[in-house]
Amino acid sequence: MTLLTLSALETLPQEIERPSRRDDIGVGIVHFGPGAFHRAHQAAYIDTVLREDPRWGIAAVSMRSRGTVAALAAQDGLYTLAVRDSRPSLRVIGAHCRFLGPDAAAETQALLADPRIGLVTTTVTEKGYCLAADGTLDASHPDIVHDLSGADVPASVVGWMVSGLAARRAARLAPFMPMPCDNLASNGAKLHAALVAFARVRDADLADWIAGEVRVPSTMVDSITPASDDLLLADVTAALGFEDHAPVQREAFTQWVIEDVGRPFGPDLAAAGATVTYDVAGYEKAKLRILNGAHSTLAYAGLLRGHVSVSAAMADADLAQFVDAMISTDIVPMLPAVAGFDVDAYRQAVLARFANPMIVHRLDQIAQDGSQKLPYRLGDTLDANRRAGRLPAHVVAALGCWVAFLMHCSREGVPIIDPAGARLFAAAAEGDATTVVDRLVQLNLGLSASIAADVALLGALRKAASAAFDGRWGDVLSRGAQSQ
């Protein structure tokens, strides 16, 4: 079958939305990490922007493998976005116009130095920012050590950005605006601080320039995007009549909240549906703690209870009730109020989104990288509760499920997909749940080292992990009754 390329656009079935692709599209954005989430989310907004303003085409940079960029390049950057909802739809996106793999370092460097590039966005997952547990640059991270040793081609996104900013400064050009699009609280402030810290090791003047001249907005990104699978490929190919090797799928709901940093972002993202606001922190916290916190909880508890997908876990009434209670009892009371944001409506909407039967979002996808995700998703809620003198029993139970999940993986020989996977595997291999909790706390892995001094919390965590590991579900899921 013929591949989806520009020449296919005219013959696509009528009902498939297509890009208003013009020959004059220029590259205005460099994006690191063109995985499914980026293609389903930011790229769809940019595709809308390009209808009005052709300057903001995306150069997709993949630092590790050529797979995705090669597939996109072969299709003239076109791919299908399948919206899986009660009213499913297909849209061909055409927002990308350059495709740079690990073999294209010189081109990437040249693009970052090019003043036409206004925005450098990233979706490299939480671990991709090379941050330590306290959210600052991890100077001992192998990629940072590599980049700071003066290697020609950076391995980290922080290294890439600093090298691009250095080139801008050397040429007396304005900096580009870095824009992180991953699920980290205060992602803009964290990336900014990491860029400054990285530059400081090499060149104090450059560090000062980045501190003073470069603005990094924080963003909240949201749209449930299950990994692309064979079924999607087959569905899309059948509907298009063309072969597409880079399709993505997501729910209809999509949200992009961007911090207003007092400078234009370049593309008019607000006109394309993004929210630009001074108060991104409120949205960010609500999303990370409610949606992502509940997601991770469903992932670990759901996998332990034999479920495969989020919607299947939501069909487990005890689990669904537990997660709902966790949001209301432990999470919402610790959220700052955001003007015009109805948190209860948000809670209900999130739970309804999870139950969407059209989306098969695998729990094992969400369960990955727990040591990186949990501090933002559940840890911040835990801390806020402790500061308020409360013991958030549901959150403790959810963390106990993570520990039990690690113990099962380790004892059944199932690899733990996490940057700290080998250490987690070793920590969970032997001993009872109490011992494993204590080890993780000591290692500051997923569970904060500060818990060691919090006797009540440590005791509750040990109990929760034991109950979850033993499968005493009555105890795990009724934790709410003990909330204080």
Phi first, then psi, for residue 482 (nearest 5°) are -95, 0
Least distance (Å) between residue 222 CB and ligand CS2: 4
Least distance (Å) between residue 374 CB and ligand CS2: 10
Distances from the Cα of 358 to the Cα of 37, 79, 119, 167, 309, angstroms: 18, 20, 34, 47, 11
For ligand CS2, the closer CB: 126 or 259: 126
Phi first, then psi, for residue 115 (nearest 5°) are -65, -15
Which spans of this chain sit near ligand CS2 (rule: CB under 6 A)? 183, 222-224, 292, 295, 365-366, 373
Least Cα distance to 181 among 138, 140, 224, 221 occurs for 221
Least distance (Å) between residue 470 CB and ligand CS2: 26
Beta bridge partners of 65: none
Tokens of 4: 């989806």
Distance between CA atoms of 50 and 84, rounded to whole angstroms? Answer: 24
For ligand CS2, the closer CB: 76 or 222: 222
* Pairing of the two strands 248-250 and 255-259: unpaired
For ligand CS2, the closer CB: 129 or 176: 129
Least distance (Å) between residue 250 CB and ligand CS2: 9
Please work out, in degrees rounded to the nearest 5, the angle formed at the alpha carbon of residue 79 by the alpha carbons of 78 and 83: 140
- Asked whether 281 and 288 are in contact (CB, 8 A), the reply is no
Least distance (Å) between residue 126 CB and ligand CS2: 9
Least distance (Å) between residue 139 CB and ligand CS2: 27
For ligand CS2, the closer CB: 368 or 478: 368
CB count, 10 Å around CB of 335? 18
For ligand CS2, the closer CB: 161 or 366: 366
- Asked whether 221 and 241 are in contact (CB, 8 A), the reply is no
Least distance (Å) between residue 14 CB and ligand CS2: 31
CB burial string 273-282: b at 16+ within 10 A, e below: ebebbeebbb
Distance between CA atoms of 472 and 475, rounded to whole angstroms? Answer: 6
Least distance (Å) between residue 373 CB and ligand CS2: 6
For ligand CS2, the closer CB: 9 or 343: 343
Report H helices in 86-216.
105-113, 142-148, 157-170, 187-202, 204-213
Look up residue 204 and give its amino acid: A
**Which letter does DSSP use for residue 331 in this model?**
I
For ligand CS2, the closer CB: 365 or 483: 365
For ligand CS2, the closer CB: 113 or 221: 221
Identify each DSSP E strand in 223-316 by its residue range.
Answer: 248-250, 255-259, 275-277
Least distance (Å) between residue 441 CB and ligand CS2: 23
- Asked whether 297 and 323 are in contact (CB, 8 A), the reply is yes
- Asked whether 214 and 175 are in contact (CB, 8 A), the reply is yes
For ligand CS2, the closer CB: 217 or 370: 370
Q: Which residue is nearest to ligand CS2 (CB)?
A: 295
CA atoms in the 13 A half-sphere facing the CB of 446:
32
Phi first, then psi, for residue 254 (nearest 5°) are -150, 140
For ligand CS2, the closer CB: 80 or 223: 223
Least distance (Å) between residue 484 CB and ligand CS2: 28
Q: What's the longest Cα–Cα distance across the chain?
A: 67
Least distance (Å) between residue 7 CB and ligand CS2: 34
Look up residue 133 and give its amino acid: A
Sheet holding 89-93, edge to edge: 89-93, 79-83, 248-250
Least distance (Å) between residue 45 CB and ligand CS2: 14
For ligand CS2, the closer CB: 291 or 436: 291
For ligand CS2, the closer CB: 148 or 248: 248
